[in-house]
Amino acid sequence: MQFQDWLRSLRFSGGDSKSEVDNLKTLLPSLPSSFSLSSIIGLGALASLTTYWLVTRPRPIQPPCDLQAQSIPVQGDQSCRRSALLKDDNLLEFYYEDTKTVYDMFQRGLQIAGNGPCLGFRKPGEPYQWISYTEVAERAQVLGSGLLAKGCKPNPQQYVGIFAQNRPEWVITELACYTFSMALVPLYDTLGLEAMVHILKLAEISMVVCDKEDKAESLLKIKEKGVTPALSCLVLFNPFSAALLERGRKCGVEILQLSQIMVRSNINPPKPQDLAVVCFTSGTTGNVTDQQTPQTLLTVSMFCHGARVGFYQGDISLLMDDIKTLKPTFFPVVPRLLNRIYDKILGSVTSPLRRAILHYAVRRKQAELSSGVVRNNSLWDRLIFNKIQASLGGNLRFILTASAPISPTVLSFLRATLGCLIFEGYGQTECTAGCTFSMPGDWSAGHVGAPLPCAMVKLTDIPDMNYYAKNGEGEICIRGHSVFRGYLKDEERTGEALDADGWLHTGDVGQWLPNGTLRIVDRKKHIFKLSQGEYIAPEKIENVYTRCVAVLQVFVHGDSLQSHLIGVVVPDPEVFVDWAKERGIVGSYEELCQNPDVKKAVLEDMTAVGKEAGLKSFEQVKDLYLHPEMFSVSNGLLTPTLKSKRVDLRRVFSEQIAQMYSKSSV
C-alpha cells in the first residue's frame, strides 16, 4: 500500500460489520418448526447479543507496513535507512502537489473549512470563542499590508520579529509574514538580554510585533543602549500607555497599535525555496535558520486539514481547566507533562486493593494494545479510566510526544489509561522538528519509530565512545528535504553541522533495532571524562533517574578531575511528603530536603533504579543535594524547550558541588 493511500484510509476500526450482520439474518429463516416460542425468543436474544458484539467488538489498527521491517537499508547499507512506506529511495518532498509552502497549507485549510472555526481563545470562566478561517486570512492580509506600509519589503530577506505569548494574534502575524514572503523571527524573553541583542543585530530587525507593554519596554531598553540601530517600529496587540509612546519617540522607535496599520494591498506569496522562519535556539547564541519551528509545524499541519487550534489563557496554572473546556482531539505534549500525569495517577491510588485493581486493569488494556487494539470504551475504561480521560477533555484520539526521551513504562501505562493513540517522534529544529515517528499499529515502547518518508537516517562511528555503525550504533545523521539550510550568517557552524554530502550531524547516539526502528541510547555533545578515563553521558543518566517516584528533576555533574558523579535533585512536590512518610520520615517539603535520612533514601532509590536500567557503577551518582525549587525557564535553569542549561546549573550549584566533592576527598 502506498504511503498516501494508507494515510487516507487510516481509521480506528476496520472490517465490514454489515456483511456479518446480513449473514446472521440469512440463518434465522432455517430454524426447525418444532422450536417453541420461548426457544425462538431466547435464540433471538442470543442473536441480538451476537450481532451487537460483531458490530462493536474491538478491531486492531491495520499498520501501513510490516511492523517487523519498518525501515529499509539504502543501497544495501544497513547503517543508512529510509521509510518502508516509500516505494524506492526517492524521498517524499510534497504530500500534496498544490501545497508546497506554509502559506499554501493554510490556504488549503481555508478551502476546506471556509467560515469554519480556526483559532480559539477564552476568558476566565467562559467557553472558547473562535475566529474563522476566512477572518484569519483577512486579518493576515491586512496586517501584512500594514507591515509593508511601515517600510517592510515583500521578500524572504525581510526579517520581522514577533515577541509574544502563544495566542491567535501570534499565528495571524506569522501568516501575515508568509502572505507577503517575509521571514518570521520569534523572540522569547527567556532567551535573556544578551541573546536578544544578538538576534536583533544579526538579523538587522527593524520591525517587531509584541503582545504587551512590558515586552515593548524590554526592547526599548535595548534600543536606548544604542546597540540595535535598525530597530525602528513596534506594533502591539494590547493597548499601551502614553508614557511608552513618549519613551519610544525619544529613542527613535515608532510605537503603534495593531489596528493602526491594518490596510490592504495585493498579496505576494512565497516560493517553495524561500525562507519562512529564523529560529534562534535556546540557551546560547546558536542561530538556526529553518523552514519551520516545531510549533509552526504542528499548527500549520492542523491548518492544512481545516482543523481548529485552541490556545490556553496564558496562565499555566489554568492549563488543565483550558484543556477540559477545549476538549481537544489532538494534544502535542512534552514527556515531562506525561510523567506528571503518570505520577499523579499513581499517587492518587493509596490503598493496596485499589492499586492492585488499577494495575490489573492496565495489564488488560495493554494486552489489547499488544494485539493492535486502541480504544476508550472497554469495561475498564468505564469503570476505572474514564475520570482520567475526562481530566484531559474526554475526546483525545491522538497524542504526540517529543523533545526528550520518555520512559517505556510511562508510555505503555498512559497508552492503556488514556485509551488513545500516543506516538513518539524524534528530531531537532535543524531538521524541521521530526525525522522519525512511531508507526501506527506498533504500540511497543523504547524506541522513536522509523524514518519519516521525507528523510534518510544513518549512523556513523564514534570511536571514542566505542560506537560503530557496523554494529548498528553511532551518531545519528539526517539527510532529506526537511533538513535546514544552515545557521544564519555563520558558515563555520553550518559547516560543523552539515557535511559536504548534506548530512546533518545531530550529536545524538542511536541504535537500529531488528524491526527497523531507531532507539536513542546516548548523547555525544555533552559527554565528559572522569579522572579514570570513563566517558559519561549525563543526559542518559538523568533520563533514568527521573523514573524514580520521588524525583522530579535531576542534574548529574562530574569532571575529569573527579572519579565519581554527584547530582542535584528536585523532589516532586506532589508526592515527596507522602513518599517520605511511607518511610517513617515526617516533615514539610523544605524540611525533608534538608533531612540527611531522606537524602539517603532518595539516593538508594536512584541507585536501585539505575541498576535496574543497566547503569554501570561509574555512571551512578555517589552523593546528591536536594533542592526545594524547580529548575524553570523563569529562573534561568531550563531552556524554553525545557532542556537543562548545564552551564548555568553548574554555576548556580557550584557551592553545593564543591561541598559534595570535598566530603568525598576527606
Residue by residue, what is the 3-state secondary structure of 528-596?
A: EECCCCCEECHHHHHHHHCCCCCEEEEEEECCCCCCCEEEEEEECCCCHHHHHHHCCCCCCHHHHHCCH
Amino acid at 74: V
Tell me the sheet residues that pair with 626: 569
Give the pLDDT confidence of 518-560 residue by residue, as tens digits: 998 877 777 787 877 777 889 889 989 998 999 999 999 998 7
Strands (E), 335-460: 398-401, 421-426, 436-437, 450-451, 455-460
- Name the residue with higher pLDDT: 429 or 212: 212
The pLDDT, as a whole number, for residue 49 is: 60
Q: Mean pLDDT score of the chain, rounded to an integer? A: 87
pLDDT tier for residue 584 given thresholds of 50, 70 and 90: very high
The pLDDT, as a whole number, for residue 2 is: 47
466: burial class by Cβ within 10 Å (0-12, 13-18, 19+)?
A: exposed
Report whether 459 contacts 477 (CB < 8 A). Answer: yes
HSE-CB of 506 using CA atoms within 13 angstroms: 27
Report whether 134 contacts 115 (CB < 8 A). Answer: yes
* 140's grid cell: 493576515
**Distance between CA atoms of 156 and 269, rounded to whole angstroms?**
10
Amino acid at 286: G
The dihedral sign for the CA sequence 393, 394, 396, 400: positive
pLDDT tier for residue 47 given thresholds of 50, 70 and 90: low
Q: What value does the mean pLDDT take over residues 317-323? A: 90
* 114's grid cell: 471556509
Report whether 122 contacts 324 (CB < 8 A). Answer: no
The pLDDT, as a whole number, for residue 36 is: 52
Instruction: Among 79-88, 219-228, 426-435, name the one with the lowest average pLDDT.
Output: 426-435
- Name the residue with higher pLDDT: 125 or 17: 125
> Which of 1, 13, 10, 160 shows the shortest CA–CA distance to 87?
1
| SS3 at position 209 | strand
Q: What value does the mean pLDDT take over residues 328-341? A: 87
Torsion of CA 197, 195, 654, 571, to 10 degrees: 130
Give the pLDDT confidence of 638-659 residue by residue, as tens digits: 887 778 888 889 999 999 999 9
Torsion of CA 603, 608, 614, 620, to 10 degrees: 20
| SS3 at position 33 | coil
The pLDDT, as a whole number, for residue 310 is: 96
> Which of 588, 597, 592, 526 shows the shortest CA–CA distance to 559?
526
What DSSP line would sit under 60-101, residue for residue? ----SS-TT--EEEETTEEEEEEETTSSSSPPP--SBTTB-S
Give the pLDDT confidence of 140-189 residue by residue, as tens digits: 999 999 999 999 999 999 999 999 999 999 999 999 999 999 999 999 87
pLDDT tier for residue 455 given thresholds of 50, 70 and 90: very high
**Distance between CA atoms of 538 and 526, rounded to whole angstroms?**
7
The pLDDT, as a whole number, for residue 527 is: 78
Task: Residue 245: count other Cβ atoms within 10 Å of its Cβ.
Answer: 15
The pLDDT, as a whole number, for residue 55 is: 59
**Distance between CA atoms of 245 and 256, rounded to whole angstroms?**
8
Give the pLDDT confidence of 189-235 residue by residue, as tens digits: 767 778 889 999 999 999 999 999 999 999 999 999 999 999 999 99
Tell me the sheet residues that pair with 11: none
pLDDT at 23 over 80: no
For the chain, what percentages of helix, strand and coil (3-state, to nearest 5) are there? 40, 20, 40
DSSP designation for 638: B
pLDDT tier for residue 13 given thresholds of 50, 70 and 90: very low
Instruction: Among 17-31, 87-101, 136-150, 336-350, name the one with the lowest average pLDDT.
Output: 17-31
**Distance between CA atoms of 513 and 186, rounded to whole angstroms?**
37
The pLDDT, as a whole number, for residue 283 is: 41
pLDDT at 244 over 60: yes
Work out the angle at residue 259's Cα, subtended by the Cα atoms of residues 253 and 262, and round it to the nearest 5 degrees.
95
Task: Provide the whole-model pTM.
Answer: 0.79
Amino acid at 555: F
The residue behind cell 493597548 is 239
HSE-CB of 254 using CA atoms within 13 angstroms: 13
> Which of 263, 262, 206, 271 shows the shortest CA–CA distance to 237?
262
Residue 231 is inside which H or E element, if any? none
Backbone angles phi, psi at 133, to 5 degrees: -60, -40
Q: What's the gap between Cα 144 and its chain centre?
A: 29
pLDDT at 34 over 60: no
The pLDDT, as a whole number, for residue 1 is: 45
Burial call 331-350: b when 16+ CB within 10 Å, e when fewer: bbbebbebbebbbebeeeee
pLDDT tier for residue 61 given thresholds of 50, 70 and 90: confident
What lies within 8 Å, CB to CB, of 66 at 6+ separation is 84
Q: What value does the mean pLDDT take over residues 101-112? A: 96
